Amino acid sequence: MGTAAGIEEIDFAALGKRLKALRKKAGLTQGQVASELGVTSGYVSNVENNHMAMSIRFLAWYGQMAGMTLDELIDGKNSQYVPDKLDREILEAYHQLSLPNRELMNRLLALMLENHKESGVGAAAEQMEEI
């Protein structure tokens, strides 16, 4: 990816706006983020609006939420995908499954993707009956 930006090269105003956009795209409120991080919603607002410096923990949480490395988050690259509410619900449910059921889910998803590529959504339902 090239060289990481030095601290003096980081556009913190743009970074705050990017964090706010990522939070909104993920369907999260400032209060929800604050609760996750153990801070106030005012702190989240101040960071997003470049009125207060953000902690590394704050930045790392946003990176994890968005599925981005810190370099990607800071540089503003690879920000096309941000997990939405459905993504988070699916991931949470997946982690609650036993290992055999996760393996079954992975096979099911592989079949669905294969069938989607070949003939669309209808064929996936037929193969699900085989599982």
The confidence score (pLDDT) of residue 14 equals 86
What's the topology of domain 7-75?
A: 434 Repressor (Amino-terminal Domain) (1.10.260)
Q: What is the pLDDT of residue 2?
A: 44
Domain extent listing, the chain: 7-75, 97-128
What pLDDT does 3 receive? 46
Residue 77 has what pLDDT? 67
Q: What is the pLDDT of residue 46?
A: 93
What pLDDT, on a 0 to 100 scale, did the predictor assign at position 1?
40
Q: How far, in Å, are 17, 38, 78, 105 from residue 13 at the CA level?
A: 6, 23, 19, 42
pLDDT the model gives residue 76: 72
In the predicted model, residues of the chain with pLDDT beneath 50 are 1-5, 79
